[in-house]
Amino acid sequence: MELTKVDNWIGGCFVPPKSKEYLSLGCPHSGVIFGSVALSNGEDVEVAVLCAKKVQVSWMERTTKARAEVLFKMRELVGANQQRLVMCIANEHGKTPFEAEAEVLKSIEILGYACSAPQLISGKIQAVSKGVTCFERRDPVGIVASIVPFNFPMMVPFWTVPLALVTGNCVILKPSEKAPQTMKLVAEIFKKAGVPDGVFQIVNGSKNAVEAICDHPDITLVTFVGTSRVAEMVTHRCRLLNKHVLALGGAKNFLVAAQDCHVELTSSNVVSSFTGCTGQRCMAASALIIIGDQAQLLDLIVRKASMLRPKNKQDGVYDKDAIGPVIDGASKHKIISYIDQAEQNGSQILLDGREWYKASITSEYGEGGYWVGPTVILHASSDEPAIQEEIFGPVLSVVKVSTFEEAISIQKSSIYGNAACIYTSSGEVAEWFASRFEAGMIGINVGVPVPSEPFSFGGMKMSKFGELDITGEQAIDLFTVKKKISVRWSQ
């Protein structure tokens, strides 16, 4: 098998890193090395910034409509390459084709929203006194860097890149070193769409690249999505240089099942939430609080989750009964360690996914890979690490309580505040919880409450560092500087 090499995309072409160093890429399905990705440093970031500075003014001086025309072409070409992108995501990340297709379609949807920028960014104008008019204009912030995670190698970059470009900024993207191939393909598509060389660039790598991005004085804004620990470090490092920064961190999303919930709908939705994308999404359910004795609900969740099976090469695009591997060996061992610890602490393992990785998945993939099956744990205490900490895998931790107050107390005690959901048939109950949840995104009978544009994506507490959200209307404010202008012409 020919190994894939992922170089940096700088100045409209692929170039090797200055260090000449590469990191091996392992296939999540089998663990077999299939390629390598560039490990960049400050020299590579400097070259990318210099290229961006050469074209920043000319890109900014285009009208918003002219920039939007380029995005329309991007949207057309992404659609034309949809199947290539789907298979690239599925192969490098481990998602099922169904999940990968959903990611590509969501990216196209975000592009469509960015195409409407000429209508979205028009400013206010008003006569404020005799002979004096005030108006506002939006200018780009300059050079934007986006540091993105592995779990959505296309969609998360599209949270920032299209809106940053259409508002007149140049963008330097730092993909996850665990899943860099998808945006390599996207870079080629962007060039065909007419994005000028230097306006969109990719610098691959890990810690050295991130630190160089945070420290570069000519990068005006940094966006980050990843763990809370790194998000806090990135925020602090950027603010030392008075940079604009928005960093999204980890999550521990609590679902609450009231006694009047629709059992069939709730069980299906909970399973979809905690097993979708193998639990590797910041919006996945990872803790379920059941109010009262709801044996039927818990039995249905376990039964439906147990029907899922490892993805194989024969699965069709729309096969929803299969789930893929986790991203790498470190993730697999971390997930299993939480299950082991819960068992040692006396929790009941109602569904055990630890045996998946020992099985031969298919003859095509061979033995090995990073497989963990759906797991359901019933805890006696909400203080368990699996209840409080982010696992990022297909593990559902369940705890039973007697009252609404106990349920809301557990959710509010979390250091995270990304998302929360209440399952109920009562509008009064839904309103009670929605008004009390400490989370930026709330679902009512929706276990993955991702807001669609124009609504913005962002959490609270340790799930977000920064004042604005990363998509939708707030992202337009993030990527622009509002200038307020007062005019008097009359004597």
Query: Which pLDDT score is estimated for 365?
Result: 52
**Are the C-beta atoms of residues 169 and 143 closer than 8 Å to each other?**
yes
Q: What is the pLDDT along the chain (491 residues), one digit of tens a residue?
A: 457 899 999 999 999 999 999 999 999 998 899 999 999 999 999 999 999 999 999 999 999 999 999 999 999 999 999 999 999 999 999 999 999 999 999 999 999 999 999 998 888 899 999 889 999 999 999 999 999 999 999 999 999 999 999 999 999 999 999 999 999 999 999 999 999 999 999 999 999 999 999 999 999 999 999 999 999 999 999 999 999 999 999 999 999 999 999 999 999 999 999 999 999 999 998 999 999 999 999 999 999 999 999 987 665 556 778 999 999 999 999 999 999 999 999 999 999 999 886 654 543 555 678 999 999 999 999 999 999 999 999 999 999 999 999 999 999 999 999 999 999 999 999 999 999 999 999 999 999 999 999 999 999 999 999 989 999 999 999 999 999 999 998 77
Separation between Cα atoms, residue 75 and residue 162, nearest integer Å: 10
Beta-carbon contacts of residue 190 (< 8 Å; ≥ 6 apart)? 74, 200
The answer to whether residue 457 is domain-embedded is: no
Instruction: Check if the beta carbon of residue 368 is closer than 8 Å to that of residue 358.
Output: no
- The pLDDT assigned to 360 comes to 45
Whether residue 450 is contained in a domain is answered as: no
Of 280, 301, 287, nearest in space to 253 by CA? 287
pLDDT for 272 equals: 96
CATH number at residue 168: 3.40.605.10
Kindly state whether residues 333 and 228 are assigned to the same domain.
Answer: no
Q: Is there a domain that residue 185 lies in?
A: yes
127 and 259 co-located in one domain: no
**Active-site annotation holder among 88, 115, 261, 282:** 282
Q: Please tell me whether residues 356 and 280 are part of one structural domain.
A: yes
282 classed as catalytic: yes
The pLDDT of residue 361 is 52
With respect to residue 297, please indicate whether it lies within any of the assigned structural domains.
yes
300 and 237 in a single domain? The answer is: no
Residue of 370, 383, 378, 243 whose CA lies nearest to 310: 370
pLDDT of res. 363: 37
Looking at residue 359, its pLDDT comes to 56
- CB < 8 Å & 24+ apart, contacts of 125-133: 128/486, 131/488, 131/489, 131/490, 132/486, 132/487, 132/488, 133/486, 133/487, 133/488
Cα angle 452, 85, 35; round to 5: 125
Which residues are CB-neighbours of 196 under 8 A, at least 6 positions away?
Answer: 12, 55, 58, 59
Per-residue pLDDT at 291: 98
Task: Provide the whole-model pTM.
Answer: 0.95
Asked whether the beta carbons of 451 and 441 are under 8 A apart, the reply is yes
CB-based contacts of 10: which residues, under 8 Å, 6+ apart? Answer: 44, 47, 48, 51, 201, 202, 203
Q: Do 298 and 398 form a contact (C-beta atoms < 8 A)?
A: yes
From edge to edge, which strands make up the β-sheet containing 4-6?
4-6, 33-38, 22-26
CB-based contacts of 83-86 (< 8 A; 24+ apart in sequence): 84/185, 85/154, 85/182, 85/185, 85/186, 86/317
In a domain, 452, yes or no: no
Q: Which residues contact 178 (CB under 8 A, 6 or more apart)?
A: 25, 150, 327, 328
61 shares a domain with 168: yes
pLDDT value at residue 455 = 94
Same domain, 62 and 149: yes
Per-residue pLDDT, 490: 79
Residues 108 and 235 in one domain: yes
Report the CATH number at residue 358: 3.40.309.10
8 Å CB contact between 198 and 149: no
Residue 21 contacts residue 39 (beta carbons within 8 Å)? yes
**Cβ contact 391:335 at 8 Å:** yes
Residues 211 and 327 in one domain: no
What distance in Å separates the CA atoms of residue 407 and residue 46, rounded to the nearest whole number? 50
Query: Are 259 and 199 contained in the same domain?
Result: no
Do 174 and 263 belong together in one domain? no
For residue 453, being part of any structural domain is answered with no
Q: How many domains does the chain have?
A: 2
Left, alpha or beta for 442 (phi > 0: left; psi -120 to 50: alpha)?
beta
Check residue 319 and give its pLDDT. Answer: 72
Q: Could you tell me the residue range of the domain that residue 176 belongs to? A: 4-249+463-487
- Cα(108)–Cα(104) distance, integer angstroms: 6
Task: Judge if 243 and 201 occupy the same domain.
Answer: yes
221 and 291 belong to one structural domain = no
